[in-house]
Structures are given as C-alpha cells and as structure tokens.
Homo-oligomer: A and B are copies of this chain.
C-alpha cells in the first residue's frame, strides 16, 4: 500500500505550486511560510512537516523547474536553427504564463548575492544555458548559417542576456514590449537564413 506515500507526494506538489505563486508575488525573501501554507490549505507548522526549513522549500521549487526543463529537453532537439525555433516557441509559452517568468526573474535578481540560497543554482543555470546556446551557434557557424563576424562565444552570452533583459522590460510594461517579436528580430539579425 503506497496510498499514504502518494498522498504525501501530492501534498508536497501542492505546496510547491503554492510557493511558486507566492514567490511570484513577493519574491523569495519577501515570502512567508504562513502565506504559502494558507494557499496549500494547511498551517505553516504543517508545511514544516514536509519541508523542514524555508530554504528546503526553495530547493524543491528549483528542483521542479529543473525537472520540467529536463522533460522539455527530452524532445531532444539538435543544436542549430531548429533549437532557436524551439526557444522562440518557449518564449511564446512564457508570455502566456507570466507567472513563471516573474518568479525566475525575481529569483535571479535576488540570487546574485553570494550568500543567497539559490546563488549556486543560478550559477549552474546560466552556465548550462550558455553552453547550450554556444553549441547551437557553433553548429550554425559550421553550416554557414551564422552571419560573418558573429563570434559564437560572444553570441551565446549576449543571447542569454537578451532573453533576461527582455523579460524584465516586458514584465514592467507588457503593453509596450513585444517580447517574442524582439527576440525573433534579434536572432534573425545573427543569421544568414530566415528563421521562418
């Protein structure tokens, strides 16, 4: 009988979902276990039965994100122009789900401080993102699809920066910024072939 365990696992997921919602509104530092617990329908002491500290809950939130990312990568798109198209599709998804963008933009800004509990996570996150972008730009260069003079290393850093920066501007003034259009335009400017 795994019934009890199953229920516990589901409860944990509910708490994580509630936490993401609260982080989105208040950031991690500004959030409280009591608010997260209330939205999950338990007391804050009950929450601490599942996640022994505030940090443990944050770790679980970031773990879920990694799990989702891993799942998406199961699509197993090869580096190259198709991956760029996939990233644009992902940006479209994000625009329709403002919440997740807000959570990670706020967390990333909080976590620049070396002591922050998510600091190491974001160091790793950026490293992986840059490496993935680098592989793609190198492939494009090899295929003659990268505009001459565009250095793959520099483009990788710049592309991640562009994604992050557009998100903050878009979150601040959603009506004035076309996130997907801007991203597409930027990527197209690096290429010799149409993104489509």
Contact = CB atoms under 8 A, between A and B. Distances in A.
Interface of A: 25-27, 29-30, 102, 105-106, 108-113, 119, 122-123, 126-127, 149-151, 154, 157-158, 160-166, 168-169, 171-173, 176-177, 181-182, 185-186, 189
A56 to B, nearest CB: 19
Nearest to A101: B112
A169 B126 contact: yes
Nearest to A25: B113
Oligomeric state, in number of copies?
A: 2
Interface of A is mostly: helix
20 contacts: A26-B29, A27-B30, A27-B110, A29-B30, A30-B30, A106-B112, A108-B172, A111-B172, A126-B173, A150-B189, A154-B186, A157-B169, A158-B162, A158-B166, A158-B185, A161-B161, A161-B162, A161-B165, A164-B164, A164-B169
